[in-house]
A and B are shown apart, each in its own frame.
Chain A
Amino acid sequence: MSDWGMQKAALGERLAAGRQHARGKVVPIPSLGAFLTAVIRSGDRVCLEGDNQKQADILASALANLDPQDVHDLHMVQSGVVLPSHLDIFEKGIARRLDFSYSGPQAARIAKMLFGRKIELGAVHTYLELFARYFIDLTPNVALIAAVSADKDGNLYTGPNTEDTPTVVEATSYKNGLVVAQVTEIVDKVPRVDIPGDLVHFVVEAGRPFYVEPLFTRDPAAITETQILTAMLAIKGIYAPYGVRRLNHGIGFNTAAIELLLPTYGEKLGLKGKVCTHFALNPHPTMIPAIESGWVEQIHCFGSEVGMEDYVAARSDVFFTGPDGSLRSNRAFCQTAGLYACDMFIGSTLQIDLEGHSSTVTTSRIAGFGGAPNMGSDPRGRRHPSEPWLKAGAEAAPDADAALRRGRKLVVQIGETFGDRNAPLFVERLDALELARALKLDLAPVMVYSDDVTHIVTEEGIANLLMCRSKDEREQAIRGVAGYTEIGRARDAKLVEQLRQRGVIRRPEDLGIDPLDADRRLLAARSIKDLMLASGGLYRPPSRFRNW
């Protein structure tokens, strides 16, 4: 008779080996190395929890300190490769293969290690895509996760930064994998049960909170006049005409400017209640003035944001909160919400080519995608109508039968024509192609594909790609907002002017916007301090963002 319980038996062996180093479910910190050596097998698929925000940092450094003689050839399947220890694991030969989504601060080192063959790359995913594969072909054998507190039974409280934890635990624990959690402290009773103790096999009391990066904090003091101009264009030229109420914002300064213009410029345009009422969005501090002035009805979050905890808890009419009063975030659900229930994604990028493909990859950096491609894509499975979705669909295919015509999600790329160090936003050829060639990748790491992007906004104007009827028109529409970049200077001026007549390209003056009115005084908050004051003192910015 075949044995259908091999995985369960293997889990039993791991549990038994682990218990040698634990008291009940609790693993003392000094035994952590020996414990991990006992429960992890060479060749295991391991999920080390960490995304662009929270990190199971104690478990990460413990894993990086294992002896590669004992544990090697691991296959890491994790959202974020963010901490130096995440790459030390590969440097030391403990892990070999990697499937991930986001690498932010390690973007340069990860590229170097890929070129040096220190890492065998599976694929660079979007979050939702990697989460999906946890349930199909990348199910972890071991998950090393992070939470705020645990009780002695292993019930976990993850606090506002719940993020990926439920998804990781679901995939691992229900498929006979082992779940180990680091927690700040072990308590008698957790404030709320985010993860049931049945699913958690061991707990490590770290004695300090897990690391969280304040990735979504943009200091209004750094917003430039040009960014304000692009924000004005987006609000008046896209938000208003499409009536965009349900949306997601990227994390750049252009969208931060939009958030800070809603209560001032948006108010003046009479848009309150007509746009920006529902968001799939982290609690950006720059959202505070819009929330306080009553613009926003509801926000669901991927994660929290450092310093925003008390503010969010005090605004439960807007945010999703738990019975303990604090934020409940969930990356998988929020990504799904962003994909299916939002009518617009707007965010910035590093490079856009002549077709409209965009990428944040440069030849020396692999930053990964995170969630942008989930937000920034048209969901073919969508069936419910909405005004912006239908209007965009009609612009794309005006002659199609309305009842059979798909709508279109608005996918907007916003930015200045030149970025840091005068690097042009518009290029003939994406660096991503160069990287794909050098690393022999089957796919170039494109963040938003050309057929998903609907609008490009720069200080020179808005290009509506939905209304382009040919490849040539599309190219000239892009050149027409590419400013003084080489791409922009090589435009066909006559064709661009025709596109403008048709409203495919709209300049500031076409929208009644004077670039000289793009003034920082338009911002509802001009400093982190202003945000703190606007929150009634509930927002407590991290020290590095303060100047008081």
Chain B
Amino acid sequence: MEKLSFRLTAPRSAGGSRAQAIVGVVASGNLEVLLERNLPADVCTIDIATAAHGFGMVWDAVVRDFVARRSAGGLRISINDGGARPDTVALRLAQGVRKIEEPER
């Protein structure tokens, strides 16, 4: 497994009030994303454990775009990855911030 960590300044803080959300599952070509709202509103950290080695540059680009485009401030994001493609990663991250914005039932 390869471990990667990012700590980024986030232009927009996450909406909603849920403390945490989880999307996806760990499977071949898939990943899970756990989001916890426990950081300062302008910070987003992303920790990744991935089965696919040597894609650090790609992850770097994906998570930077994600934090720049979506509302991810205040989130500690943790990822377990079964070798998902970048498009799947980007989709799960987007699904994650949408889920943590949903009202609690």
Contacts and interface: CB of A to CB of B under 8 A. Distances in A.
Partners in one complex: yes
A94 B57 CA distance: 52
A460 B91 CA distance: 11
Contacts of A460: 87
B94 A489 contact: no
B85 A418 contact: yes
A226 B92 CA distance: 11
Interface in B49-105: 52, 55, 57-58, 61-62, 83, 85-88, 91, 94-95, 98
Instruction: Give the interface SS of chain B, mostly helix, strand, loop or mixed.
Output: helix
A226 B88 contact: yes
A484 interface: yes
Contact of B91 (A418, A422, A489, A515): A515
Given A484-B61, A516-B95, A422 B87 contact: no
Interface residues of B, number: 15
A416 B87 contact: yes
A459 B95 CA distance: 15
Contact of B85 (A229, A422, A515, A518): A422
Given A226-B88, A417-B86, A483-B86, A516 B98 contact: yes
B94 A484 contact: no
A225 interface: yes
Contacts of A229: 91
Contact of A422 (B55, B61, B94, B98): B55
B87 A418 contact: yes
Interface residues of A, number: 16
B87 A459 contact: yes
Nearest to B69: A509
Contacts of A418: 85-87
A518 B58 CA distance: 23
B4 to A, nearest CB: 14
Contacts of A226: 85, 87-88, 91
B80 to A, nearest CB: 17
Contacts of B98: 516
Nearest to A421: B83
Interface in A412-441: 416-418, 422
Given A422-B55, A516-B98, A484 B86 contact: yes
A483 B58 CA distance: 10
A510 to B, nearest CB: 14
A530 to B, nearest CB: 23
Which of B62, B83, B85, B91 has the most C-beta atoms of chain A within 10 angstroms of its own C-beta?
Answer: B85
Interface string A472-512: 00000000000110000100000000000000000000000
Contacts of B86: 417-418, 483-484
A516 B94 contact: yes
Which of B55, B86, B87, B98 has the most C-beta atoms of chain A within 10 angstroms of its own C-beta?
Answer: B87
Contact of B57 (A224, A225, A422, A489): A489
17 contacts: A225-B91, A226-B85, A226-B88, A416-B87, A418-B85, A422-B52, A422-B55, A483-B86, A483-B87, A484-B61, A489-B57, A489-B58, A515-B94, A516-B91, A516-B94, A516-B95, A518-B91
6 closest Cβ pairs, A-B complex:
A484-B86, A418-B85, A459-B87, A226-B87, A484-B58, A484-B61
Interface of A: 224-226, 229, 416-418, 422, 459-460, 483-484, 489, 515-516, 518
Given A226-B91, A484-B58, 7 more contacts: A416-B85, A418-B86, A418-B87, A484-B62, A489-B57, A515-B91, A518-B91
